[in-house]
Structure 1
Amino acid sequence: MASPCTGLSLELFGHVSEYQQVTAALTGSTYQSSIPFNVGTYKYVCPLEATQFSNGTKSNVYGLVTSCYSAIDSRDGQKYFLRRVHNFRPATSKVNWFIEAWKRVSHPNLVKFKEVFTTREFNDPSTIFVYDYLPSVTTLCQRIISTTAAANPTARNSGSVPKILFPETLVWNYIVQLTSAMRAVFHAGLACRSIDVTKILVDSHNRLYLNGTCVQDVLLCEHSPNITRPNDVVLIQQQQQDDMKNLGKVTMALACGSVMALLPENFKSSYDLIFTGGQFSDDLRNFINYIFTNVNVRKSLNELMPMIGARFYAQFEASELKCDQLERELVKQVHNSRLMRLMAKLASINERPEFNLDSSWSETGDRYLLKLFRDHVFHQVTEDGAPWLDISHIINCLNKLDCGVDEKILLVSRDNQNALVVTYADLRMCLENSFTELSNPTLTRATVDVNAGSGAYMSAGGGVDRQNGLLVQGQQQQQTLSFSAAGSSSVGGLHSHGSSAMVGGGDAAMTSHHNSVTVNLAPDATNVEGHGGIMVNGIGGQASTATIHMQAAAMYNGTV
Structure 2
Amino acid sequence: LQYHLYSPPLPHVSNLHPHQRMIQSFFMSDRLREELQKRNEAVHHSLDESGYLPLELYNYHSVYPLEQPKMIPGSFGYMTSVYRVTGSVDGKPYVLRRVEGFRLMNEMAMSTIDPWRRLRHVNIVSVREAFTTKAFGDYSLAFVYDYHPLATTLADHYFAPGATPPTGPALEKTIWSFICQVASALKTIHSAGLSVRSLEASKILVTGKNRFRLNCCGLLDMLMFDVGKALPQQQQEDLIRFGQLIACLACLSLTAAQNLPKSIDFLSRNFSTDLKNVTLYLLSKPSPMKNVDDVITMMGPRILHEINSAHHYNDFLETELSKELENGRITRLLFQLGFINERPEFSLDPRWSETGDRYLLKLFRDYLFHQEDENGRPSLDVAHVIATLNKLDAGVDEKIGLMSRDERTFLIVSYRELKRSIKEALNELRS
Q: 2:15 matched to which residue of 1?
A: none
Q: 2:245 matched to which residue of 1?
A: 250
The reply to whether residue 240 of structure 1 matches residue 235 of structure 2 is yes
Q: Report if the CA contact (8 A) 1:284-1:307 is conserved.
A: no
Q: 1:69 matched to which residue of 2?
A: 83
Q: Residue 297 of structure 1: SS of its match in structure 2? A: coil
CA shift for structure 1 position 357: 7.9
Q: 2:195 matched to which residue of 1?
A: 191
* Mapping 1:135-214, distance limit 5 Å: 135-146=149-160, 167-203=171-207, 205-214=209-218
Q: Report if the CA contact (8 A) 1:139-1:199 is conserved.
A: yes
Taking every aligned residue pair, what percent have the same amino acid on both sides?
32
Q: 1:508 matched to which residue of 2?
A: none
Alpha carbons of structure 1 residues 49 and 419: separation in structure 2 relative to 1, 3 Å = closer
CA shift for structure 1 position 177: 1.8
Alpha carbons of structure 1 residues 364 and 42: separation in structure 2 relative to 1, 3 Å = farther
Q: Residue 78 of structure 2: SS of its match in structure 1? A: coil
Q: Report if the CA contact (8 A) 1:42-1:71 is conserved.
A: yes
Q: Which amino acid aligns with 1:253?
A: C
Q: 1:515 matched to which residue of 2?
A: none
Distance in 1 of aligned mates of 2:123 and 2:336: 42
Q: In structure 2, which of residues 74, 88, 109 is the aligned counterpart of residue 59 of structure 1?
A: 74
Q: Report if the CA contact (8 A) 1:411-1:419 is conserved.
A: yes
Q: 2:39 matched to which residue of 1?
A: 19
* Mapping 1:301-450, distance limit 5 Å: 301-351=292-342, 354-355=344-345, 363=354, 367-375=358-366, 389-390=383-384, 393-400=387-394, 412=402, 414=404, 415-416=408-409, 423=417, 426-430=420-424, 432-433=426-427
Q: CA RMSD in A?
A: 3.7
Alpha carbons of structure 1 residues 147 and 383: separation in structure 2 relative to 1, 3 Å = closer
Q: Which amino acid aligns with 2:217?
A: T
Q: 2:284 matched to which residue of 1?
A: 293
Q: 1:125 matched to which residue of 2?
A: 139
CA shift for structure 1 position 293: 1.8
Q: 1:28 matched to which residue of 2?
A: 46
Distance in 2 of aligned mates of 1:335 and 1:262: 52
Q: Report if the CA contact (8 A) 2:247-2:279 is conserved.
A: yes
Q: In structure 2, which of residues 16, 22, 28 is the aligned counterpart of residue 8 of structure 1?
A: 28
Normalised by the size of structure 2, how large is the TM-score?
A: 0.79
Q: Residue 102 of structure 2: SS of its match in structure 1? A: coil
Distance in 2 of aligned mates of 1:183 and 1:143: 25
Q: Report if the CA contact (8 A) 2:195-2:238 is conserved.
A: yes
Q: Report if the CA contact (8 A) 2:333-2:393 is conserved.
A: no
Q: 2:13 matched to which residue of 1?
A: none
* Mapping 1:224-239, distance limit 5 Å: 224=227, 235-239=230-234
Alpha carbons of structure 1 residues 410 and 169: separation in structure 2 relative to 1, 3 Å = closer
Q: Which amino acid aligns with 1:251?
A: I
CA shift for structure 1 position 9: 0.5
Q: In structure 1, which of residues 270, 282, 306 is the aligned counterpart of residue 263 of structure 2?
A: 270
Q: In structure 1, which of residues 254, 257, 261 is the aligned counterpart of residue 256 of structure 2?
A: 261
Q: Report if the CA contact (8 A) 1:73-1:79 is conserved.
A: yes
Query: Where does structure 1 lack aligned partners over 5 or more consecutive residues?
Result: 152-162, 228-233, 438-444, 446-560
Distance in 1 of aligned mates of 2:125 and 2:355: 58
Alpha carbons of structure 1 residues 357 and 417: separation in structure 2 relative to 1, 3 Å = closer
Distance in 1 of aligned mates of 2:372 and 2:52: 62
Q: 1:116 matched to which residue of 2?
A: 130
Q: Report if the CA contact (8 A) 1:41-1:74 is conserved.
A: yes
CA shift for structure 1 position 111: 1.4
Q: Which has the higher helix share?
A: 2
Alpha carbons of structure 1 residues 37 and 302: separation in structure 2 relative to 1, 3 Å = same
Distance in 1 of aligned mates of 2:400 and 2:265: 80
Q: 1:79 matched to which residue of 2?
A: 93
Q: Report if the CA contact (8 A) 2:53-2:136 is conserved.
A: yes
CA shift for structure 1 position 413: 5.2
Query: Where does structure 2 lack aligned partners over 5 or more consecutive residues?
Result: 6-23
Q: Which amino acid aligns with 1:28?
A: S
Distance in 2 of aligned mates of 1:120 and 1:32: 17
The reply to whether residue 106 of structure 1 matches residue 100 of structure 2 is no
CA shift for structure 1 position 395: 4.8
Give the number of equivalent residue pairs: 401
CA shift for structure 1 position 117: 2.0
Q: In structure 2, which of residues 57, 65, 71 is the aligned counterpart of residue 47 of structure 1?
A: 65
Alpha carbons of structure 1 residues 329 and 371: separation in structure 2 relative to 1, 3 Å = farther
Q: 1:219 matched to which residue of 2?
A: 223
Distance in 2 of aligned mates of 1:373 and 1:235: 77
Q: Residue 427 of structure 1: SS of its match in structure 2? A: helix
Alignment deviations for residues 449-473 of structure 1 (CA, whole Å, 9 cap, x no partner): xxxxxxxxxxxxxxxxxxxxxxxxx
Distance in 2 of aligned mates of 1:112 and 1:324: 26
Alignment deviations for residues 213-261 of structure 1 (CA, whole Å, 9 cap, x no partner): 121222243x34xx9xxxxxx9444332222111111111111111112
Distance in 1 of aligned mates of 2:356 and 2:347: 16
Q: Report if the CA contact (8 A) 1:372-1:411 is conserved.
A: no
Alpha carbons of structure 1 residues 150 and 104: separation in structure 2 relative to 1, 3 Å = closer
CA shift for structure 1 position 346: 2.0
Distance in 1 of aligned mates of 2:65 and 2:197: 24
Q: Report if the CA contact (8 A) 2:82-2:95 is conserved.
A: yes
Alpha carbons of structure 1 residues 36 and 97: separation in structure 2 relative to 1, 3 Å = closer
Q: 2:19 matched to which residue of 1?
A: none
CA shift for structure 1 position 341: 2.6
CA shift for structure 1 position 95: 4.4
CA shift for structure 1 position 292: 1.8
